[in-house]
Amino acid sequence: MSYPQRRLFDRLGIRRFVLETDPYGNFLLQGYGLGTARDWLRLGLLYQQDGLWNGERLLPEGWSNFVAHAGAGMVRAGLRRHVLAQPDAQWPVPEDAYYMAGSGGQIT
């Protein structure tokens, strides 16, 4: 757990975020991240700023655009690489808006 904490979370000011792992210790990055609302807000802002945080590049340039578009072979409507597109225009936001959705209706 120390690598994501040192390389990303510490730089964002996130102190108690938990990434669950499989039985072998591999991070389950398709979900299973447990954090406070402020932690998720910081991650959302990082994506909104295309990986820049206080002038420091934490994610590769273009990462936000990359994860917001479907990859080859993704056939489920609205599915993206790591985030979801706005389904059925249910919210009054721009068409290119996207979000991270968790269990129990948690949305960033």
Strand partners, 18: 34
- For 3-28, what is each residue's pLDDT tens digit? 888 989 999 999 988 888 889 988 87
Rounded Cα distance between 48 and 26, Å, is 27
pLDDT at 55: 95
pLDDT at 93: 74
Enclosing H/E stretch for 47: helix 37-48
pLDDT at 60: 93
pTM exceeds cut of 0.95: no
pLDDT at 84: 62
Distance of CA 99 to the CA centre of its chain: 8
- For 38-56, what is each residue's pLDDT tens digit? 998 898 899 889 999 999 9
pLDDT at 42: 93
Q: Into how many domains does the chain fold?
A: 1
Strand partners, 99: 84
Of 34, 30, 28, 48, which Cα lies nearest the Cα of 94?
48
Query: In this structure, which amino acid lies at residue 51?
Result: G
What is the domain extent for residue 70? 2-105
pLDDT at 53: 96
| CATH (domain of 62) | 3.40.710.10
